[in-house]
Amino acid sequence: MTVQPSSRTAELVMVGSELLRGVYADTNGCFLARSFAAEGIAVTRTTVVRDVEDEIAEVISRALSRVSLVVVCGGLGPTIDDLTREAIVQATGIPLALHQEIVDAIRQRFASRGLTVSENNLRQAYVPECGGFFPNPNGTAPGLYFESGSSLIVALPGPPRELIPMFHDTLLPFLRQRGFVGAAMPSRLFRLAGIPESLADQRLQPLIANDPGLRVSILARPNLVDITLFHEDAKRLGEIGDAVDAEFGMAIYTHEQESLEQVIGDRCRERGLTLGLAESCTGGLIGGAITNVPGSSAYLVGGIVCYSNKIKSGLLSVSEQTLADHGAVSEETAKALSEGVRKTLGCDIGLSVTGIAGPDGATPEKPLGLVFMACSSKTSTRVERHQFIGTRETIRAWATQRALDLLRRFLCQAAPSDQF
């Protein structure tokens, strides 16, 4: 089956009544649309449909009349309202058959947790007779594909932690092999930290104007902006990319698909440095991020969530005088915390955060969103004051990412002769 460039379109079908109640925002649609776009497949329609078999089947049938690739997300679970398998059977006429390899995998998975397999669980072991499955190392429901004439219907599990790895590890190579995905357009990624999206966009515009062959994607999360440039002409892409590098300099933490905490890990390993954290308003979120990285125990000694002043003074050597004179949320306390945690945990670098995440605790002098953070080594300390805006959740997310970026800059900018 080969697919012409002009037919490189797809439709998405998101299954789940809960998506239509707005309890949780769907993130899969955005992820898939962006990821397909990067591979040269245009998503031309997305339909969110209830857990009603006939409706799912109808949406899939109509999509198949317009495009040759339909990706269905969700509804592959073991419960009675997981109807995606049956709906695709109804839409395509392709029957399912029990697949012993999957049955065995499910039994093994359950046995290792001391559970027995129910009839319902075995619904996940059915595979299309004309098609196949994608293994799911992160859950029980495998992905499925149905081949109907020159069309392909792919069903992916709904949880993002299952869907995203399956997309990258099996679906994309599969689509490439089948000719649905062509050679990716040359692209260059820039991951920025510490610059607001609107400012990044403003500084980017003069560099990318007047080139009709250039496609740009911008994706923002708290404190982080990803810019991807696409251009058929690799030389032209290189020229524009160099200009972007020059414009943003140190704000670019990587050109690869890696996180800020991975970059921090690499810098620590390279220089043989160990880390310790003193978190107040972020409550453990920085530790949670740094330990997302496999092998982070090689450089993270530990952390102290110093929510109470008793811990700040008792365990982290912030003097009672500093707390009394300047308060827990102050430049002085942040500095003392970052130095204290180095001593308490016996590590090279200390990172601290203290702030007012709200909704309570703000004063006219110390408003909601005021956050101090400090990074220190044996010979130097850097302190930053930030004023974030938004809910408790937003302020904490920004503070976490901003502190990670402070740590990254501290690690990158320190001269090799600096003592740690």
Q: Find the binding residues for a second copy in span 201-240 (CB under 8 A).
A: 201-202, 205, 216-221
Question: For a second copy, which residue of 104, 149, 161, 269 counts as binding (CB under 8 A)?
Answer: 161
Residue 93, number of CB atoms within 10 A of its CB:
10
**CA–CA–CA angle 282, 287, 289 (5° rounding):** 95
Which one, of 371, 370, 297, 289, lies nearest residue 337 by Cα?
371
- The answer to whether 40 contacts a second copy (rule: CB under 8 A) is no
- φ, ψ at 281 (rounded to 5°): -65, -20
Q: Roughly how many angstroms between the first and final C-alpha of the chain, as a whole number? A: 59
Give the x/- contact pattern for a second copy in 165-194, rule: CB under 8 A. Answer: x-----------------------------
Tokens of 350: 């200390």
* Identity of the residue, 94 or 311, whose beta carbon is nearer to a second copy in the bound complex: 311
CB of 39 to a second copy, least distance (A): 12
| Spatial separation of the C-alpha atoms in residues 273 and 298, rounded to whole Å | 9
Question: For a second copy, which residue of 93, 97, 120, 320 counts as binding (CB under 8 A)?
Answer: 120
Contacts 24+ apart (CB under 8 A), 296-302: 296/261, 296/265, 298/268, 298/269, 299/265, 299/268, 299/269, 299/273, 299/274, 299/275, 300/274, 300/275, 300/276, 301/274, 301/275, 301/276, 301/345, 301/346, 301/347, 302/276, 302/277, 302/345
Stretch that binds a second copy, among 83-91, 126-134, 176-184, 200-208 (CB under 8 A): 200-208
| Spatial separation of the C-alpha atoms in residues 40 and 36, rounded to whole Å | 6
Question: For a second copy, which residue of 93, 97, 118, 242 counts as binding (CB under 8 A)?
Answer: 118
Question: For a second copy, which residue of 100, 112, 177, 417 counts as binding (CB under 8 A)?
Answer: 112
Tokens of 38: 């990067």
* Identity of the residue, 77 or 128, whose beta carbon is nearer to a second copy in the bound complex: 77
Tokens of 92: 């395509």
Question: For a second copy, which residue of 6, 212, 249, 360 counts as binding (CB under 8 A)?
Answer: 360
Give the x/- contact pattern for a second copy in 259-298, rule: CB under 8 A. Answer: ------------------x-x-xxxxxxxxxxxx-xxxx-
Contact 66, 13 (CB under 8 A): no
CB of 284 to a second copy, least distance (A): 3
Give the chain's radius of gyration (CA, Å).
25
* Identity of the residue, 131 or 353, whose beta carbon is nearer to a second copy in the bound complex: 353
* Identity of the residue, 139 or 143, whose beta carbon is nearer to a second copy in the bound complex: 139
- The answer to whether 24 contacts a second copy (rule: CB under 8 A) is yes
* Identity of the residue, 191 or 335, whose beta carbon is nearer to a second copy in the bound complex: 191
Contact 352, 343 (CB under 8 A): no
CB of 294 to a second copy, least distance (A): 5
* Identity of the residue, 118 or 413, whose beta carbon is nearer to a second copy in the bound complex: 118
Q: Which of the residues 291 through 320 are near a second copy (CB under 8 A)?
A: 291-292, 294-297, 300-308, 310-311, 315
